[in-house]
Amino acid sequence: MTGRPDQYQAYVSFPGGTDGPSVGAVHDRIEDLEYLFEGRLDVVPQLRGIAVDTDRVPAAHFDADAFDAILDRIEDAYADSHRLARLEKWRSIDGRVVRSSVVVPVRPLFRTGGEKSESDASPAE
């Protein structure tokens, strides 16, 4: 499938925790998504956070650049603790091409930037 999709939809996870963004920052990003998807979304509480699951919206009503800007703001909000995993899938649903995006902030498997935790300290330190 090439070209522009007929519709867009997204699933965005917002993990909670003390090292993530503030509740206000998460609320602001959810509000951004709600505006972009014309209110066609569900906010779903999860065991360790919140998820946003949108309905499909017509391409004529969707601003892909605004969506990318929202994802950049989500990535900035989680920059200290997570990396943003993005998966995009194009599929045919009811004869229409739908671009589905799954966005999940995940903790990196390995620390970067020379960070050192207490468990890394040698016994002599």
**Would you say residue 44 lies in a domain?**
yes
Boundaries of domain holding 13: 7-107
**Would you say residue 16 lies in a domain?**
yes
pLDDT digits (tens, 9 = 90+) for 50-103: 999 999 999 999 999 999 999 999 999 999 889 999 999 999 999 999 999 999
Q: Give pTM, 2 decimals.
A: 0.82
Position 120 scores a pLDDT of 47
pLDDT digits (tens, 9 = 90+) for 6-17: 999 999 999 988
**Would you say residue 117 lies in a domain?**
no
**Would you say residue 123 lies in a domain?**
no
In the chain, the number of structural domains is: 1
**Would you say residue 18 lies in a domain?**
yes
**Would you say residue 116 lies in a domain?**
no
CA-based torsion, 19, 24, 30, 36: positive or negative: negative
